């Protein structure tokens, strides 16, 4: 007889769905119960009511679809602290609803306009937080609360509004950043900092507790306490970061309110003016501490980016020197191959091998560009391209390179997105991101393309475009990137793979492409996977296809026996250019020494039609000796030489 199949155990996500609201409800009840019947003569009742502020910080990073059950838990917890007698049930019910409204409104404002993940790590996000939550959000709910209280026969509307606005605003200002800082610390922080923050925050919290208790025991004045606590909080913000500063500030605020309620310390609960001073001091210290922490973090990030830039610049100098010589060699190979092909008959069997030589030279040029891109010194040639076409091509190239068991998926945008980009560079950047993601993924890599009106998250490298953006997301379901590796990801030759498993240039090339295209790269990583977002400026107007008749190729015969002086220190390049000029109908005169050539040109104005010089062969102090000097950058190819000669002769005629 077959044995019955046991019922499946409830999943972890299902248990968490019901456990989280219960924990939040219990926490709100424990925080609200001690102050449920606090005297209302002063203005400290709202400050000592931390339950709504804690609930805001918990709901903020949470998906909105999970909010209803958590808001219900908040309502039940706060309702459990009320009397609900025959005379107070209306006010108890009204304020329960008002607290739930305050939590939902502030959490929505923070998620919609500050940061969806709850990370307040930039000056802009901090300003939005201050304006929208403690001011706008609490201001609106305080108006409703004051109206409710005045209708029930409490104090006047203005007094009730000020009590609710200042008290709840300070509670949100002090407690919400403290909870968010630990729930949603930025992944850009280093691993050592993340491990040191709890100990540093604990030490600073102990120090502020000892300071306030000692000051209360010896009856230190408000001014002295304010100055000493300000210095301690500023030092915590500078050396410990936002999380440690917010925790220390929250500890100081809670202890300060507690001492005042126990009628200890310089602030007096019975004195409305003294209680008001306590609130103002708490708000001022909070704003000062948060701005110091955020600006110090931004300065450190800027210094880190500057150091990366210096390293890339050093590599760029090396790559530039190597690429210069390498391009000269390629130019010689390509130039002589073109000369030989032009001198052969059209039915010659040697023309096909010469075309292969030129194709190999072109691939060498592309390799040189990749070396320069790794050092962020690529060219600025751009054309209007459809971003989805670029990503589809990259996905096609990446799929055969995936290891077994990993699938690459592509999710396109609703419409075509055009960017000004170099197609080959952009394909290589997306391909590198997809290849890295496939190596890190457990089973799935997803590439997405989209657009936005502005950049709404910090970049790990590069600068955010000022207007509309197009982005490419490359996400994997791997274990995430260790925090200690994040600041080194875009450094050339940095690799965490086993020896021989990677060159360490993949992400450096991605960084070079992003920066050369006036964009950047953002990173989001965690235990469930990593997402790289390549950000580029979006072209608001679709490009107009150009007609083939708009391209004007230079004619084969440009001259009629005019004498053209050529200055080029490289004998191979000089010989090729002389052959090309002769084929174009000119009479070339080549010089290796620039001073000798310029002296000859100065005495041959009537006979000399044009002087063409390589940029690195002409002295800077003699470059303007005559208006007929045309300077070309290396390597000089036939097309650029013909265009320069045709344009110069037209201007000088």
Looking at residue 553, its pLDDT comes to 43
Q: Tell whether 352 and 414 lie within a shared domain.
A: no
Instruction: Indicate if the pLDDT at residue 569 is higher than 90.
Output: no
Domain assignment of residue 482, yes or no: yes
pLDDT in tens, 90-138: 777 888 888 899 999 999 999 999 988 888 888 888 999 999 999 999 9
Region 332-338: mean pLDDT is 81
Least confident range of 335-344, 416-425, 484-493: 484-493
Q: Tell whether 133 and 107 lie within a shared domain.
A: yes
Q: Tell whether 53 and 140 lie within a shared domain.
A: yes
94 token code pair: 């009204």
Specify whether the backbone of 171 is left (phi greater than 0), alpha (psi in -120 to 50) or beta: alpha
Instruction: Indicate if the pLDDT at residue 437 is higher than 80.
Output: yes
Instruction: Indicate if the pLDDT at residue 315 is higher than 60.
Output: yes
CB 445 within 8 A of CB 474: yes
Instruction: Indicate if the pLDDT at residue 152 is higher than 70.
Output: no
Count of helix runs (H) and strand runs (E) in the chain: 17, 12
Domain assignment of residue 246, yes or no: no
CB 531 within 8 A of CB 433: no
Q: Tell whether 18 and 92 lie within a shared domain.
A: yes
Q: Tell whether 52 and 172 lie within a shared domain.
A: yes
Domain assignment of residue 442, yes or no: yes
In 221-264 the beta strands, taken as DSSP E runs, fall at: none
Looking at residue 445, its pLDDT comes to 93
Instruction: Indicate if the pLDDT at residue 320 is higher than 60.
Output: yes
Domain assignment of residue 281, yes or no: no
Looking at residue 466, its pLDDT comes to 83
pLDDT, mean over the chain: 78
More confident residue, 480 or 456: 480
Instruction: Indicate if the pLDDT at residue 420 is higher than 80.
Output: yes
Whether the ω angle into residue 635 lies within 30 degrees of 0, i.e. cis, is: yes
Q: Tell whether 456 and 525 lie within a shared domain.
A: yes
145 token code pair: 């609360």
Looking at residue 46, its pLDDT comes to 42
> Which of 6, 17, 141 is closest to 73 using CA atoms?
17
- DSSP at 469: E
Looking at residue 523, its pLDDT comes to 92
Burial group, residue 11, by CB count within 10 angstroms (0-12, 13-18, 19+): exposed
Phi, psi of 325 (to 5 degrees): -65, -35
Instruction: Say how far apart CA 114 and CA 604 lie, in whole Å.
Output: 71
Domain assignment of residue 213, yes or no: no
Region 414-442: mean pLDDT is 87
Domain assignment of residue 241, yes or no: no
> Which of 123, 132, 1 is closest to 56 using CA atoms?
132
Instruction: Say how far apart CA 143 and CA 131 lie, in whole Å.
Output: 17
> Which of 461, 458, 474, 464 is closest to 533 using CA atoms?
474
Which of these three, 320, 354, 374, is where a domain ends? 374
The H-or-E segment that residue 609 falls in is: strand 608-614
Angle between helices 157-183 and 51-59 (to 10 degrees): 40
**How far from the centroid of its chain's Cα atoms is residue 202's Cα?**
31
Which structural domain range is residue 63 located in? 11-184
The H-or-E segment that residue 233 falls in is: helix 222-261
Q: Which alpha helices (DSSP H) does 449-585 contain, by range?
A: 506-516, 571-583
Q: Tell whether 161 and 51 lie within a shared domain.
A: yes
> Which of 87, 73, 66, 90 is closest to 32 using CA atoms?
73
Domain count, the chain: 4
Which of these three, 374, 393, 425, is where a domain ends? 374
CATH code assigned at 71: 1.10.1760
Looking at residue 610, its pLDDT comes to 77
**How far from the centroid of its chain's Cα atoms is residue 50's Cα?**
33
The H-or-E segment that residue 94 falls in is: helix 89-109
Instruction: Say how far apart CA 574 and CA 612 lie, in whole Å.
Output: 11
Q: Tell whether 359 and 483 lie within a shared domain.
A: no
Burial group, residue 400, by CB count within 10 angstroms (0-12, 13-18, 19+): exposed
Q: How many residues in the chain? A: 653
Q: Tell whether 354 and 403 lie within a shared domain.
A: no
Instruction: Say how far apart CA 599 and CA 198 lie, in whole Å.
Output: 75
Q: Tell whether 353 and 408 lie within a shared domain.
A: no
Which of these three, 374, 406, 425, is where a domain ends? 374
Looking at residue 262, its pLDDT comes to 79
Residues in CB range of 201: below 8 A, 6 or more apart: 236, 240, 243, 244, 247, 248
pLDDT in tens, 464-495: 888 889 999 999 999 988 888 887 788 766 77
Instruction: Say how far apart CA 144 and CA 134 lie, in whole Å.
Output: 15
Q: What is the DSSP string of 439-505?
A: HH-SSEEEEEEEEESS--S--SEE---SS-EEEEEEEE-SS---GGGGGGTTSTT---SPTTS--S-
Reported as a pLDDT band with limits 50, 70 and 90, residue 450 is: very high
Helix (H, G, I), strand (E, B) or coil at 632: strand
Instruction: Say how far apart CA 425 and CA 435 lie, in whole Å.
Output: 15
Phi, psi of 408 (to 5 degrees): -105, 125
Q: Tell whether 396 and 361 lie within a shared domain.
A: no
CB 472 within 8 A of CB 516: no
CA atoms within 13 A on the CB side of 290: 28
Whole-angstrom CA distances from 79 to 28, 58, 137, 202, 608 are 10, 19, 22, 34, 98
Instruction: Indicate if the pLDDT at residue 378 is higher than 50.
Output: no
Reported as a pLDDT band with limits 50, 70 and 90, residue 51 is: confident
Domain assignment of residue 564, yes or no: yes
The strand pairing partners of 526, in sequence order, are 529
Instruction: Say how far apart CA 207 and CA 209 lie, in whole Å.
Output: 5
CB 471 within 8 A of CB 534: yes
Q: Tell whether 94 and 58 lie within a shared domain.
A: yes
> Which of 433, 441, 527 is closest to 474 using CA atoms?
433
Reported as a pLDDT band with limits 50, 70 and 90, residue 557 is: low
pTM score, two decimals? 0.56
CATH code assigned at 592: 3.40.50.2300
Domain assignment of residue 445, yes or no: yes
**How far from the centroid of its chain's Cα atoms is residue 102's Cα?**
31
SS (H, E, C) 59-79: HCCCCHHHHHHHHHHHHHHHH
CATH code assigned at 332: 1.10.287.130
CATH code assigned at 518: 3.30.565.10
Longest CA–CA separation in the chain, Å: 114
Count of CB atoms situated within 10 Å of the CB of 34: 12
Q: What percent of the chain has pLDDT over 70?
A: 77
């Amino acid at each position: 007889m077959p044995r019955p199949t046991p019922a499946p155990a409830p999943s972890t996500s299902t248990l968490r769905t019901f456990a989280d609201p219960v924990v939040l409800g219990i926490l709100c009840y424990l925080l609200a119960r001690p102050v449920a019947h606090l005297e209302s003569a002063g203005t400290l009742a709202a400050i000592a009511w931390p339950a709504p502020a804690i609930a805001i910080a918990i709901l903020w990073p949470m998906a909105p679809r999970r909010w209803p059950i958590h808001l219900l838990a908040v309502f039940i917890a706060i309702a459990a602290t009320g009397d609900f007698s025959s005379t107070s049930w209306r006010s108890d019910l009204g304020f329960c609803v008002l607290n739930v409204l305050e939590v939902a409104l502030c959490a929505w404002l923070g998620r919609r306009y500050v940061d969806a993940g709850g990370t307040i790590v930039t000056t802009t996000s901090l300003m939005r937080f201050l304006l929208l939550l403690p001011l706008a959000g609490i201001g609106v709910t305080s108006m409703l609360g004051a109206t409710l209280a005045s209708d029930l026969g409490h104090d006047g509307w203005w007094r009730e509004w000020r009590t609710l606005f200042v008290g709840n605003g300070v509670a949100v200002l002090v407690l919400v950043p403290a909870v968010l800082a630990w729930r949603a610390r930025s992944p850009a922080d280093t691993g050592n900092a993340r491990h040191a923050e709890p100990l540093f925050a604990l030490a600073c919290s102990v120090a502020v507790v000892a300071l306030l208790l000692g000051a209360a025991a010896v009856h230190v004045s408000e001014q002295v306490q304010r100055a000493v606590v300000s210095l301690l909080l500023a030092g915590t913000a500078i050396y410990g970061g936002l999380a440690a500063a917010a925790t220390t500030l929250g500890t100081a605020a809670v202890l300060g309110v507690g001492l005042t309620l126990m009628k200890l310390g310089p602030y007096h609960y019975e004195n409305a003016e003294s209680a008001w001073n306590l609130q103002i001091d708490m708000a001022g210290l909070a704003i000062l501490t948060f701005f110091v922490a955020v600006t110090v973090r931004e300065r450190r990030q800027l210094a880190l980016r500057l150091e990366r830039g210096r390293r890339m610049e050093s590599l760029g100098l090396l790559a530039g020197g190597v690429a210069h010589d390498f391009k000269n060699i390629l130019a010689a190979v390509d130039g002589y191959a073109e000369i030989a092909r032009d001198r052969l008959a059209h039915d010659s069997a040697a023309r096909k091998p010469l075309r292969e030589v030129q194709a190999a030279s072109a691939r060498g040029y592309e390799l040189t560009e990749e070396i320069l891109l790794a050092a962020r010194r690529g060219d600025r040639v751009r054309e209007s391209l459809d971003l989805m076409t670029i990503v589809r091509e990259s996905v096609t190239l990446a799929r055969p390179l995936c290891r077994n068991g990993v699938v690459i998926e592509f999710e396109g945008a609703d419409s075509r997105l055009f960017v000004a980009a170099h197609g080959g560079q952009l394909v290589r950047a997306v391909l590198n991101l997809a290849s890295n993601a496939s190596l890190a993924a457990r089973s799935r890599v997803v590439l997405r393309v989209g657009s936005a009106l502005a950049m709404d998250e910090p970049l790990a490298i590069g600068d955010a475009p000022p207007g509309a953006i197009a982005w490419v997301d490359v996400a994997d379901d791997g274990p995430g990137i260790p925090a200690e590796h994040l600041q080194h990801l875009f450094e050339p030759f940095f690799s965490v793979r086993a020896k021989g498993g990677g060159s360490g240039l993949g992400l450096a090339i991605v960084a070079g492409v992003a920066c050369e295209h006036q964009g950047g790269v953002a990173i989001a990583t965690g235990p469930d996977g990593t997402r790289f977002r390549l950000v580029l400026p979006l072209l608001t107007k679709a490009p107009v296809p150009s007609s083939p008749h708009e391209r004007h190729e230079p004619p084969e015969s440009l001259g009629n026996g005019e004498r053209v002086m050529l200055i080029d220190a490289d004998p191979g390049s000089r010989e090729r250019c002389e052959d090309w000029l002769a084929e174009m109908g000119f009479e070339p005169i080549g010089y290796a020494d620039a001073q000798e050539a310029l002296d000859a040109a100065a005495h041959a104005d009537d006979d000399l039609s044009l002087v063409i010089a390589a940029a690195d062969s002409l002295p800077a102090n003699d470059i303007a000796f005559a208006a007929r000097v045309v300077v070309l950058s290396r390597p000089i190819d036939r097309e650029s030489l013909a265009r320069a000669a045709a344009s110069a002769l037209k201007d000088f005629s």
